[in-house]
């Protein structure tokens, strides 16, 4: 088992990590970000480097774009597929070795997770669960979100130095998605631990230690959901996971993989959005003053938070065929990297993009939730949770201040905070 895991890490992460280190020494911007001080793919330096080279230049062995129009186009274009170890563009030998070393774990970044699966399989998976995240379904959850938020804010009063990530931003979305999936409340801390170690698997170039810890937790996730689906098969309920069982279309592995995805899609993005939002709003008190005077602006403020500081900085696509786009000929099998952070700061779409403005009229045109058939399933839920909980937090504690700089996750593509100590004067 150890040898297979190490070979899999080497092929999916280790070789890329070595390449990025080599390219950093040669002055390549992507490599320098991976191993330098400025470690975010959404950094203004990296985005500017892309823009200076054109709308979709060739960099680091891939096509890269920070152009809003091109990102939206490619995300919706069926001539491009998700980056997956199973994609036909991958070398046959690589696909063979990966198939032989596949541990069958519910890895978010590998099939049969719908995140990295194209039609027709993706269509089967999404059809079974999309109604749970429909506008009507989200509207019915809003009252519960208000209740959970109020309870969390009450608890904060007893904490002299609360952590706004661990004590608030993480607790709300995990409580809501656990209820939607039919998982017990005593699982919340375990679910958060699984999300914490599993999130890095959405990146590439991980260290062996990070990868090993993540797959160890995935083995625990698999054991839990295997047992849970056995129980649901015998006695299904009216929750989402029961739908995966009673739908009759999925194998057990597909059930477990997409249960893990629904869990993480239901809270990871929201945790990161809330943390990023608190950091932005506390550092822009004039924007908080606007929201206090005009609370109807809160939904737009959430869109601006997502635009200005999106949790996922970049995504990728593989060309399924030869494609001519923006005066470039992209050959079949080529990797195209889409800078979501760059698209969200495209001055052609968002005037003065480096200005954080909760009144920005077109903030919702951001691409932070991806687009096309792979747009984030939990986007509506995240938006609603953000508007409800951030408004309640700052109305309850209008003088909220951070107690020192927040501590970010040491990741390249995912921008989020691990901890955010705060001071909460009585409000």
Q: What CATH number was assigned to the domain covering residues 2-423?
A: 1.10.630.10
Separation CA 116–CA 201 (nearest Å):
12
Separation CA 116–CA 108 (nearest Å):
8
Confidence of residue 255 (pLDDT cuts 50, 70, 90): very high
Under 8 Å between Cβ of 83 and 116:
yes
Which residue in this structure is represented by tokens 């000929």? Answer: 329
Q: Would you state the pLDDT for residue 427? A: 47
Confidence of residue 33 (pLDDT cuts 50, 70, 90): low
Closest CA to 60 of 402, 336, 413: 336
- b/e map 236-262, b = 16+ CB within 10 Å: beeebbbbbbeeeebeeebbbbbbbbb
Under 8 Å between Cβ of 318 and 333:
yes
Mean pLDDT of the chain: 90
Least confident of 85-89, 92-96, 186-190: 85-89
Q: Would you state the pLDDT for residue 37? A: 46
Under 8 Å between Cβ of 9 and 206:
yes
| 324, pLDDT greater than 90 | yes
Q: How does pLDDT run across 39-79, given as a tens digit for each residue?
A: 454 567 778 888 999 999 998 789 999 999 999 999 999 99
254 cis-preceded (ω within 30 degrees of 0): no
Q: Would you state the pLDDT for residue 290? A: 97
Q: Would you state the pLDDT for residue 375? A: 93
CA end-to-end distance (rounded Å), the chain: 55
Stretch 200-222: mean pLDDT, rounded?
91
Distance from the Cα of residue 355 to its chain's centroid = 23
Rg for the chain (alpha carbons), in Å? 21
The pTM of the full predicted model, rounded to 2 decimals, is 0.93
DSSP three-state, residue 22? helix
Confidence of residue 1 (pLDDT cuts 50, 70, 90): low
Separation CA 175–CA 274 (nearest Å):
15
Distances in Å between the Cα of 356 and the Cα atoms of 155, 298, 302, 345, 402 are: 30, 14, 11, 11, 19
């Amino acid at each position: 088992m150890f040898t297979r895991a190490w070979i899999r890490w080497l092929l999916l992460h280790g070789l890329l990590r070595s390449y990025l280190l080599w390219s950093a020494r040669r002055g390549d911007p992507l490599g320098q970000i991976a191993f330098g001080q400025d470690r975010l793919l959404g950094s203004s330096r990296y985005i500017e480097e892309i823009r200076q080279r054109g709308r979709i230049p060739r960099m680091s062995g891939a096509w890269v774009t920070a152009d809003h129009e091109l990102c939206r186009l490619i995300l919706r274009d069926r001539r491009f597929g998700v980056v997956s170890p199973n994609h036909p563009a991958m070398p046959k030998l690589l696909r063979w070795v990966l198939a032989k070393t596949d541990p069958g774990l519910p890895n978010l970044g590998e099939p049969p997770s719908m995140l990295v699966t194209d039609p027709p399989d993706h269509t089967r998976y999404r059809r079974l669960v999309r109604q749970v995240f429909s506008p009507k379904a989200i509207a019915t959850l809003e009252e519960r979100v208000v209740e959970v938020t109020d309870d969390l804010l009450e608890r904060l009063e007893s904490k002299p130095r609360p952590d706004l990530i661990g004590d608030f931003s993480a607790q709300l979305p995990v409580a809501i998605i656990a209820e939607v999936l039919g998982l017990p409340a005593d699982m919340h801390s375990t679910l958060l631990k699984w999300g914490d170690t599993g999130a890095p698997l959405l990146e590439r170039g991980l260290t062996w230690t990070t990868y090993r810890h993540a797959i160890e937790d995935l083995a625990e996730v698999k054991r839990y959901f295997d047992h849970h689906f056995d129980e649901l098969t015998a006695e299904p309920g009216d929750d989402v996971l029961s739908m995966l069982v009673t739908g009759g279309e999925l194998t057990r592995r597909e059930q477990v993989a997409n249960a893990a995805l629904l869990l993480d899609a239901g809270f990871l993005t929201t945790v990161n959005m809330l943390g990023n939002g608190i950091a932005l709003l506390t550092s822009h008190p004039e924007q908080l003053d606007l929201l206090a005077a005009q609370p109807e602006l809160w939904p737009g403020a959430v869109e601006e938070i997502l635009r200005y500081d999106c949790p996922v900085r970049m995504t990728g696509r593989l060309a399924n065929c030869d494609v001519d786009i923006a005066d470039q000929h992209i050959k079949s099998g080529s990797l195209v990297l889409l800078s979501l952070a760059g698209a969200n700061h495209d001055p052609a779409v968002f005037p003065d993009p480096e200005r954080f403005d909760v009144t920005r009229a077109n903030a919702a045109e951001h691409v932070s939730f991806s687009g096309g058939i792979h747009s984030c399933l939990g986007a509506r839920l995240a938006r609603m949770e953000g508007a409800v909980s951030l408004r309640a937090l700052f109305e309850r504690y209008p003088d909220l201040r951070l107690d020192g700089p927040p501590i970010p996750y040491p990741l390249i593509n995912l921008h989020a905070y691990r901890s955010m100590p705060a001071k909460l004067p009585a409000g």
